[in-house]
Structure 1
């Protein structure tokens, strides 16, 4: 069974012009109608760092979750953000960006890797107390542009530390779109074999022409949890100047179908969501 995570937060966060709160909520409500496993809908971070997400709490109040089967995920970058997110019963997952690159950890959360690991531990304890789950995103998980050390063994060291903290979901993130199919397969195979009790996800950024082979590589490696954004909008504004977009959800869906996977999505509502995305992301 494929877990498909739709990421409007990632699609919107780097846009320079503020999207009206009501429009954000209408779009996320439409995505909920599609029936994705999880919606990465917003973040509780500094409005100075990511001004587009300053209205996440207001957006949440406008969501129609009465019949929703989708879970909600919010990104946090520190303990204060986690405490803010945990005030809302509607949020199921707190996502934290932990980088295997020291340079990117500093750029993304203004903290060292050692400090970030302490934050992960604190958030994990808070989540366990509140009955929530933390999803740790291992950013720069397939390489980095800064010359920082990287290897599959290094990724495994980070996973080992997270396993000791009882983190149950880890999303390996190709923040700048450099992963080759061979590396994607290798890293997922090694991690899934070594830590079968952990759910590993793929948060890959990619050019459109490379999406199919990257999805197939992830599937070959044993991954069954994939993040995407309709039309491939977005990318990480903290990574480098040139954004590489998210994996286009509609392209991934076709690949899954061709491989025989059932996604249990409402096709009509998906088509409406794509139309709405085209009006928001000009």
Structure 2
């Protein structure tokens, strides 16, 4: 089981800037919990995501000496990937490839074809720099724009990623549109069809629907889950009303019910939860 904590996703849409020192202290607390990966920041235009304009400064303040957690940074184009790749502390570069053409334009100002060209270049860059590309299939469970969506379309995108050599693909429920009826068939079809790819679930959800979504992905064989403490955050490019992230504490409850070890230091998690309350309360 791999748990990926996403403070970047929790912070990115907040209107008030969280001071760099506060971000750094919170991330350092999260680094002690034992998450597989920390989605900690993004190298994108500060005009697009002003909240994360200090990612390089935050990175410089992280204490990785006592943590096994790997760092992931989100990038929106090849230039951002080249910047992120210069930092040896970063293990993963994450790129949002949208199943929806409309959202690709809104999110990265590209066509889907242009984005796929970037993905190929980013994967090659990662190979040269000792990093791994994580492709997020945004709007992976449908979209609000009327763009075509079907399991076959998602499979076709995955096939193109596999052909490029991408090894981690996270199906992303960018607006909380997924249900068990869409989650289970997708993972059940994709996981055996692409044995060389590790599939993850980046599920946005309302408080009442989280359990069915996690269960649907888990039953279908997914063992990589993204979450954010408190269920905070969402994609500011997707809608005005943000649908929150999957709450990490809910993921932990689900795993405990299943008798599955999370691998986390629960005391450290409690400290991070307490800090999250103060970090996000005033923003």
Using structure 1 for the length normalisation, give the TM-score. Answer: 0.99
SS at match of 1:256: helix
- 1:71 aligned residue: 70
SS at match of 1:73: strand
Shift of 1:263: 1.2
- 1:145 aligned residue: 144
Q: Which moved more, 1:161-170 or 1:263-272?
A: 263-272
CA distance in 2, matches of 1:45, 1:161: 24
- 1:261 aligned residue: 260
Deviations 1:98-142 (CA, angstroms, capped at 9, x unpaired): 000000000000000000000000000000011100000000000
RMSD: 0.5
Task: Confirm or deny that 1:89 pairs with 2:98.
Answer: no
Task: Confirm or deny that 1:191 pairs with 2:190.
Answer: yes
Deviations 1:179-210 (CA, angstroms, capped at 9, x unpaired): 01121011001100100110000000001121
- 2:177 aligned residue: 178
Using structure 2 for the length normalisation, give the TM-score. Answer: 0.99
CA distance in 2, matches of 1:241, 1:25: 27
- 1:240 aligned residue: 239
CA distance in 2, matches of 1:256, 1:196: 24
Shift of 1:156: 0.1
CA distance in 2, matches of 1:68, 1:216: 29
CA distance in 1, matches of 2:259, 2:215: 12
SS at match of 2:3: strand
SS at match of 1:34: coil
Task: Confirm or deny that 1:276 pairs with 2:275.
Answer: yes
Which 4+ stretches in 1 moved above 3 angstroms?
none
